[in-house]
Structures are given as structure tokens and as C-alpha cells.
């Protein structure tokens, strides 16, 4: 029963959106990395809001929170 509970919690955590980590790169680029696995999910010009933003990380499946705070 403990394994099922742990698996369920992992699924809930993965479905709960996390903010991406913003990494500034040379030449005015910004890389948006997954808040869970830290793999890049998007790259754009720094200061420019990307038009198409993935809802999930392609590497680990973590939901991404692109909201403005």
C-alpha cells in the first residue's frame, strides 16, 4: 500500500505546475529550464515572452507554470 501511495504522490507532484528556472546565456538569450529536472524546455531572446510555451517538460513530464507573478 505504501508503494501505491508514493506513486500517487509522485504523479500529483508531477501534475502540479512548477515555475521554470530562467538561465541567462551569452548573446542576450534566456533559457527556461524545468523546475524539476533542470533540463531546457525553451530558449528565447532575453526580455521577450516566447509565443509557444510547452505545458510539460519533454524530459521528465513535469507540468510547467508560465504564469506572471
27 contacts 18 by C-beta, under 8 angstroms: no
The chain-wide mean pLDDT, for the chain, equals 88
Strand partners, 8: none
Query: Which pLDDT tens digit goes with each residue over 47-65?
Result: 677 778 899 999 999 999 9
pTM as predicted: 0.78
- Three-class DSSP category at 17: coil
Residue 25 has pLDDT above 80, yes or no: no
Q: In the predicted model, what is the mean pLDDT of residues 4-8?
A: 93
Residue 41 has pLDDT above 80, yes or no: yes
Q: What percent of the chain has pLDDT over 70?
A: 94
Amino acid at each position: 500500500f505504501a508503494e501505491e501511495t508514493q506513486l500517487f504522490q509522485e504523479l500529483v507532484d508531477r501534475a502540479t505546475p512548477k515555475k521554470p528556472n530562467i538561465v541567462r546565456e551569452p548573446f542576450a538569450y534566456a533559457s527556461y529550464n524545468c523546475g524539476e529536472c533542470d533540463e531546457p524546455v525553451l530558449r528565447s531572446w532575453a526580455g521577450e515572452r516566447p509565443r509557444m510555451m510547452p505545458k510539460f517538460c519533454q524530459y521528465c513530464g513535469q507540468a510547467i507554470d508560465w504564469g506572471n507573478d
